[in-house]
Chains A and B, each alone.
Chain A
Amino acid sequence: MIDVRNLSKSYRVHKRAPGLGAALRSVLRRKYEVVQAVEDLSFQIAEGERVGFLGPNGAGKTTTLKVLAGLLHPTSGSVRVGSYVPHERDPRFLQLITLVMGQKQQLLWDLPPSETYAMNRAIYDIPRAQADETVRKLVELLEIGDLVDKPTRQLSLGERMKCELVAALLHRPRVLFLDEPTIGLDVSMQAKMRDFIRDYNERFGAAVLLTSHYMDDVVALCPRVVVIDHGHLIYDGNLQELARRVRPDKRMTLRLSRLVDRADLEKLGTVVSADAAQVVLSVPHARLSAVVQSALSALPIVDLTIEEAPLEEVMRELFGAREKEAREASRAHG
């Protein structure tokens, strides 16, 4: 469904030092700098797949999504979505996709969302019966029945985002590009949004490519992740596999009936946190069963759980390690 091969995208931005003098000089002689937003990126996404697109700020995620949605021309490399080249903006391609941007909205500010739906129905040339049916279903799934007839300006951020989704999905796209769709939403609203996205994906076999700063979104929705940093692909594959590779340690949480010596805990593994009620240990995967056995025999355990390290930590470690490598490499060259 989506085929990205050796995609590169660079911008020419005009650069100047701070201050009035520099500003004046830059009017006369502009200095340009080429910013490499994405470099030699390749990946494929099949129909019906849900893929998380991860990377620190400025890694090139939004740029890639915009290239995929046909809003930006690639500098080099080839991109195909369905059988189309996105930046040619073939109307049939535009019928196939949608792009949701959590930070921007398409709803008409002064009118109720239902009017935006009416307009999109006309623009996408959708038969009225089909559009009405889609709106009815989506509104029901998102539980926004009474909101779509209120002026958009009177809706809360979360309500607006839900109404925004209906506008973006009215033409039943087969490919969803979601850029931070849950930004600024509270936890329960985020959860609802996730359920909705999964539901849509399963019903329509739509491919979903999602970026989010909330790792919970990614864990809940995306079995596969594509990770980029500084425009380069650094990982493409199973999410759990990534967590295991970056953080081979398991997270063991113990609830104890009484306080124990820290030294006893340190015998078992690295202590992440410890207080009267709860101890969190980090234990290498290979030693896990041995550690569990000795913990059960040696400590007054009420409850014991074992989990992967949280994805936030995995990501921090992944990008932190890369930063360090880069610094060391540049020092070696300098």
Chain B
Amino acid sequence: MTAAANEVRPRRTGPAALVRRYAGLFRVQLSMSMLTAMQYRADFVVKGLIAVLWMAVTLVPVLVVFGVRKTVAGWTFPESLVVVGWFTLLRAVLEGAVSPSLTAVVEHVRHGTLDFVLLKPADAQFLVSTAKIEPWHLVDVFGSLAIFIYAFSKIGRWPSLLNLGTGVASLGLAIIILYSIWILVVSASFWVIKVDNLSYLFGSLFDAARWPITVFRGALRVVFTFVFPIAILTTYPAMALLGRLDGKTAAAALAGGLAFAAIARRVWRRALALYTSASS
């Protein structure tokens, strides 16, 4: 341990190095989450079981509605199941990877430990967004696959490779949007400290994503397309899998998603600036 070894290492630059560095960081964060999850084994089992239960509950409203009618807003039962499949998958991502980390930010702000995050030479948004992942939500991922398989076997026509590709791409877009909305909610915590109510509201709005967007009429449809775009979250991916998504809608969805991400990043930076200029 000599003073010479103390020199700051010249930083590797360039986008490739940056991606490598953050991929490495993500791996470390992920392994910390896994280790934490393993610390409480009973927890692991119980939470996995609860995830299964929730998935069953998710299906109930759809089953009830289709018990009395053949189609809803132009969607047949198995087609609606495709939407429910996306909803389940997306909820796994939301509750497994997005919410826990960002709820932890709120705790950081309340306890003043966000300082430690800001002292680190890495992007603060990245660090807080990847801090906590709950692996038992993998159960939901498997569940959603089962739903997809059941739905498409009922439809009797499997998605083409192109459909599958567009579906996966729209899932990526959906995750970006979901994450951006969460970032906006969390940024609010810098102003109001307690955002429990906001996150309940978020949860309730997200629940609407189990229905195809065409179910909603008037003002609700506008809100769910542009403000809280559940259309992009679940309807469009489902349409992609069913081979019904046209290029124009896809392009508009992509533009909207990127805009959401840009706005979220800006608001986050504003919120951080506020934190560093006002807290004590």
Contacts and interface: CB of A to CB of B under 8 A. Distances in A.
Q: Do A and B bind each other?
A: yes
Interface residues of A, number: 48
Given A96-B8, A98-B119, A104-B113, A71 B276 contact: yes
A133 interface: yes
B122 A203 contact: no
B280 A204 contact: no
Given A12-B278, A123-B120, A123-B122, A174 B115 contact: no
Given A72-B276, A125-B21, A91 B6 contact: no
Interface in B255-280: 273, 276-280
B109 interface: no
B118 A89 contact: yes
Contacts of B280: 11, 37, 62-63
Residue of A91, A95, A98, A122 with most partner-chain B CB within 10 A: A122
A94 B117 CA distance: 11
Given A71-B276, A73-B277, A134-B1, A118 B28 contact: yes
Interface string A98-132: 11010011101011000100111011111100100
B121 A73 contact: no
A99 B28 contact: no
B24 interface: yes
B207 to A, nearest CB: 30
A108 B36 contact: yes
B32 A106 contact: no
A231 interface: no
Nearest to A107: B116
A115 B32 CA distance: 7
26 contacts: A11-B280, A62-B280, A63-B280, A69-B119, A70-B118, A71-B115, A71-B118, A71-B279, A72-B277, A73-B273, A94-B120, A104-B115, A106-B116, A108-B36, A110-B36, A111-B39, A115-B35, A120-B120, A122-B25, A122-B28, A124-B121, A125-B121, A126-B9, A134-B1, A151-B39, A172-B6
Interface of B: 1, 3, 5-6, 8-9, 11, 21, 24-25, 28-29, 32, 35-36, 39-40, 111-113, 115-116, 118-122, 127, 273, 276-280
